[in-house]
Amino acid sequence: MVHMIAADAAMDGRMSSISDGLIIAMIVAYAIALFLFAVEAAYGRRRTLRANRLMPVAAGSSAGSAQASDTAGSAAVPPTAGEASLDLDAAEGGDDMSVSVRREEPEAKAAQHAVGNVALVVTVLGFLLNAAHITTRGLAADRWPWGNMFEFVVAICLCSVAAFLFAAMRYQARFLGTFVLVPVVLLLGIAVRWLYSEAGPVIPALHSYWIAIHVSAAIIATGGFMVAGAAAAAHLMARRTEIQRAAGQRVAGVAAKLPAAELLDRVSHRFIVLAFPLWTFAIIAGAVWADEAWGRFWGWDPKEVWSFITWVVYAAYLHARATAGWRGTKATWIGLLGFACLMFNFFAVNFVFSGLHSYA
């Protein structure tokens, strides 16, 4: 019996060491991917986009049809080998702001997207390392691996990257890579530097199957909200860029390569629509768990209050879009306010306020 306990302890120690090594490798992978996405954003070429689909495509065979597809929403067909595509960078370089059409061979297009493709592959590698870290930490602690702030941050980053990879592959929204990976790398750095704790048991209040339900829903929803927040920040930059272009000003840098502000607004909205029901379920599941653990469904604990405030702000965002027809900048600011409430709930409530959730 003693030998079995010693063997289990040794196995847990090995899993913990592997987990600690994986988080360093994960941060390095995400940082490399962030650098590559930033290079692509700074030096790539901006393209027209289909107004009715969240994916970039090249324009038609003439400047007029290309411009119409970008503004009026007509379906543009991706060009085949040697077909003409719209070069918006060239349009910005002319004194008369005219749109030029150039010939683009498959080899040139492949070279243009090579950096972004490598960045996407490195992001997938970081995601796999992230998942492996969470798995090994759970095995080392012999429990669900999100019982403290450190584990919660790592899980949020996993879900944020998963949401981004979904957007990149489903909607070809690879342009969000820089905006998503910046907070991911920062959060992981904060987690390792200030939030790290050894893998071990949690307090009795967390020994419940509800941790796999309530906390998991909150983590997945937060990952979706992070991608929505990244798209919202990109939307504000793109909107400012469009205003500057309309005023005849030349725009350079990352802002000049962003897609249409309308597209970014729809990306943000779509992820809020996906995350909001999960956040709603997380609040309800948390109330049921609170009744089992503390004998009441709701006690106005700081964490409960700010979770509800976050829910109200995102509900206001969805209501404003559905009933008042708010689009673009006005709705984006509400979405960013919701994301700010989410981050306040995550950091400030856990470290500044005292409540039943302070164990996190």
Query: Tell me: the pLDDT tens digits for 38-82?
Result: 988 877 665 544 444 555 433 333 333 333 333 333 333 333 333
State the Cα angle at 90 between 97 and 55, rounded to 5°.
105
Long-range CB pairs of 85-93, under 8 A, 24+ apart, other chains included? 85/47, 85/58, 85/59, 86/47, 86/48, 86/58, 86/59, 87/45, 88/45, 88/46, 88/47, 88/48, 89/45, 89/46, 89/256, 92/245, 92/250, 92/251, 92/256, 93/250
| 36 domain-assigned | no
Q: Are 176 and 59 in contact (CB under 8 A)?
A: no
Indicate the average pLDDT of the chain: 80
Stretch 301-313: mean pLDDT, rounded?
94
What DSSP character marks residue 86? E
Q: Is residue 301 part of a domain?
A: yes
Alpha-carbon span 227 to 63, nearest angstrom: 33
The answer to the question of residue 226 being in a domain is yes
For the segment 269-284, the average pLDDT, to the nearest whole number, is: 97
Place of tokens 């008369």: 96
What type of residue is 11?
Answer: M
- Other Cβ atoms closer than 10 A to 66: 25
Span 122-140, mean pLDDT? 96
Distance, CA of 307 to CA of 96 (rounded, Å)? 51
Give the number of domains in the chain.
1
Q: What is the 3-state secondary structure (H, E, C) of 148-187?
A: CHHHHHHHHHHHHHHHHHHHHHHCCCHHHHHHHHHHHHHH
Return d(Cα 159, Cα 95) in angstroms, integer. 45
> Is-contact 313 337, C-beta < 8 A?
yes
Upper half-sphere CA count for residue 322 (Cβ side, 13 Å): 8
Residue type, 269: H
Q: Is residue 193 included in any domain, yes or no?
A: no
Distance CA 152, CA 216 (A): 9
Q: How many whole angstroms separate alpha carbon 229 and alpha carbon 211?
A: 26
pLDDT of residue 96 exceeding 50: no
- What confidence tens digit (pLDDT) does each residue in 208-265 have? 889 899 999 999 999 999 999 999 999 999 999 999 989 998 887 778 888 889 989 9
Query: Is 180 domain-assigned?
Result: no
> Which residues contact residue 70 at a Cβ distance below 8 angstroms, ignoring those fewer than 6 apart?
48, 49, 51, 59, 86, 260
What is the average pLDDT across 159-173?
91
Asked if residue 352 belongs to a domain, the reply is yes
Instruction: Give the span between the Cα atoms of 317 and 143, in whole angstroms.
Output: 37
- Please state the pTM of the whole predicted model: 0.81
Q: Which residues pair with 103 in a beta bridge?
A: 84
- Band (pLDDT 50/70/90 cuts) for residue 164 is very high
Range of the domain at 221: 203-360
| Residues found in the chain | 360
- CA distances 276 to 37, 313, 335, Å, are 28, 11, 11
What is the distance between the alpha carbons of residues 1 and 6, in angstroms, rounded to a whole number? 9
Query: In Å, what is the CA distance from 262 to each residue of 52, 149, 254, 255, 257?
Result: 10, 36, 17, 15, 14
The answer to whether residue 9 is domain-embedded is no
Does residue 158 form part of some domain? no
